Structure 1
Amino acid sequence: MQAAQILALALPNVVPVNVRDNVLQHLIQDINNKGNHTSTGIVSTAALYPLLSDNGQHDLAVELISTVTYPSYGYMFNNPYENATTMWELWDAPMEGPGMNSRNHHMFSSIGAWFYSHLAGIDFQSDLILIQPRMLSENKKHLLTKIDCQLSTLYGLVHVSYTRDESDTFANSILLRVSIPSNAQAQVIFEPLYPGARCVTIMENHEVIWSIDSKDNSVFHDVNTGLMTRQVGSGDYEYQAFWE
């Protein structure tokens, strides 16, 4: 059932707009009913995590990838029977049965694309590199407080790292470091750290480039989503964004 809902939601123009939210809620409810586990296979797993992250369920996506109970990636690599060193064909590879015949089924590795595109937030639009790490809510931020990612792209090496709420002094802030390769342009996008949060200050390389009281247009503020966007060229940048 999960696979049918995931693929219908992920493919264009399959689910009518007026019932899309109902289908998504059925999917979420089924995941919850299974104790926050998926019942997906190799065809729909790749679409699940981006679907959740792009539809207000990033917390749930990170919970699913963090679990170590059956069935999950965590169980595959940490179980009482056989700790995987490659991707299995099925979630329950240690169990006996004729259905299990592959210990190197790379299709489940599709989760790696989501690590780059949503956890680190590296994506591409036309000739722009997009940097938009997705933020967990305040209630779930303990699941993921740090990221450090390098990705070799057609533009060159892109490096993104962040630390969230580094200390009490900088509560409700994120420290983001970004490296953009030569001859490339990028948009660095800051998500609200929690629902309803508003940005009050953004610093770039230790200098204030935007504040809630300033008229500086170097950072675009989308009042509908709360997203803060800065366009930059190649180079190394360190940002600190403060929210309230």
Structure 2
Amino acid sequence: HKSALMMAEMAAAQGLASEAKKYRQWAETMRANFHKQHLQPDGSIKPGSQTAYVLALDCGLLTDAAERKKAGAHLAALIRKKSGPKKSGMTTGFLGTKPLLPVLADTGQLELATSILQSRKYPSWGYAVKNGATTIWERWNSYTEEHGFGGSNGKMNAAMNPFSHYAFGAVTEWMFTDLAGIAPAEPGYSKIRLQPHIPTAAPKGAKPISWVRAHHDSPHGRIAIHWQRQQDDSLLYEATVPPNTTAELSLPSHSPWSKPTPKTTTTLLKPGHHRILVR
């Protein structure tokens, strides 16, 4: 479905109207078949794996806002059901992990997404760091505290176990686009979207994320942002917008630490350095 939509977009960009129409029709047929065969009346999906929910949300098979919110809630429930004193609750692999945190944040589950990012339980990025990782492992169970290189059950073939494999490193994309909030609004960053998602909670034993600093070197120059919680619970936001661009900045109208669910205010930023304090 997602591939068909991308093909339709590419065909339209080349002026191939009939090809674009064909691919859009294919995508719509696939979406309708998915709804008929897999989507349940209560908003759940069968089969009910975490990856099934993640891919349905990420690939555009669920487009209605209410449908997406229900699916996100079901996904969050699955993760919480699997979590425990030593378990993060994640069961996704190569296909599901990359879009997991983005779809959680997109469906109103930002705090859960952040707790997974910060988790030190198995499986998680933090679990690997806790066990000495300085690179991204190919497998969540490349090394476990119980069985070492034998995986989660002690029987894994350690001969095929790279400790430098980028797949799970795709989480950094979410850190840039959601936590830092840097994304292109138009191809090539001629127009920039700045919209940080600011978490206010953290998993047990961890401190909430109170600041983020990031930059991206675009074709027009460096885009840089920094947001930080201040001592009085206000939000300090700074951004540098490169020449020959503009940035659409979306920030909470009130500090997220002073009001739990503030509304969003959007401002157009011109090139230069900007410093904004949100109380």
Q: TM-score range by the shorter chain?
A: 0.7 to 0.9
Q: Tell me the distance in 1 between the aligned counterparts of 2:99 and 2:164.
A: 20
Kindly indicate whether residue 142 of structure 2 is the aligned counterpart of residue 86 of structure 1: no
Q: Tell me the distance in 2 between the aligned counterparts of 1:229 and 1:18.
A: 24
Instruction: Pick from 190, 196, 200 the counterpart of residue 133 of structure 1.
Output: 196
Measured against aligned partners, the alpha-carbon deviations of 1:90-124 in whole angstroms (never above 9, x if no partner) come to 11112312174221211111001011100100011
RMSD after superposition: 2.1
Instruction: Pick from 179, 202, 211 the counterpart of residue 240 of structure 2.
Output: 179
User: How far off its partner does 1:8 sit?
Assistant: 1.1
Task: Say if 2:68 and 2:107, in contact at 8 Å, map to a contact too.
Answer: no
1:20 to 1:189, Cα distance in 2 relative to 1, 3 A: closer
Kindly indicate whether residue 210 of structure 2 is the aligned counterpart of residue 145 of structure 1: yes
Q: Which residue of 2 aligns with 1:204?
A: none
Q: Tell me the distance in 1 between the aligned counterparts of 2:66 and 2:111.
A: 25
Which has the larger helix fraction?
A: 2
Counterpart code for 2:139: L
Any gaps of 5 or more consecutive residues in structure 2? 1-48, 144-148, 151-155
Kindly indicate whether residue 61 of structure 2 is the aligned counterpart of residue 13 of structure 1: yes
Any gaps of 5 or more consecutive residues in structure 1? 198-225
Q: Tell me the distance in 2 between the aligned counterparts of 1:140 and 1:85.
A: 23
Q: Which residue of 1 aligns with 2:274?
A: 237
Measured against aligned partners, the alpha-carbon deviations of 1:34-79 in whole angstroms (never above 9, x if no partner) come to 2243111111111111111111111111100101111110011112
Kindly indicate whether residue 24 of structure 2 is the aligned counterpart of residue 24 of structure 1: no
Task: Say if 1:161 and 1:176, in contact at 8 Å, map to a contact too.
Answer: yes
SS of residue paired to 1:56? coil
Counterpart code for 1:162: W
User: How far off its partner does 1:19 sit?
Assistant: 4.3
Which has the larger strand fraction?
A: 1
Counterpart code for 1:117: T
Measured against aligned partners, the alpha-carbon deviations of 1:182-241 in whole angstroms (never above 9, x if no partner) come to 1111112102514443xxxxxxxxxxxxxxxxxxxxxxxxxxxx2111111110111101
Instruction: Pick from 81, 93, 118 the counterpart of residue 178 of structure 2.
Output: 118
Counterpart code for 1:234: P
Counterpart code for 1:190: L
SS of residue paired to 2:94? coil
| Higher RCO (C-alpha 8 Å, min separation 6) | 1
Percentage identity across aligned positions?
A: 27
1:15 to 1:167, Cα distance in 2 relative to 1, 3 A: closer
- Alignment TM-score, normalising by the size of structure 1: 0.78
User: How far off its partner does 1:17 sit?
Assistant: 6.3
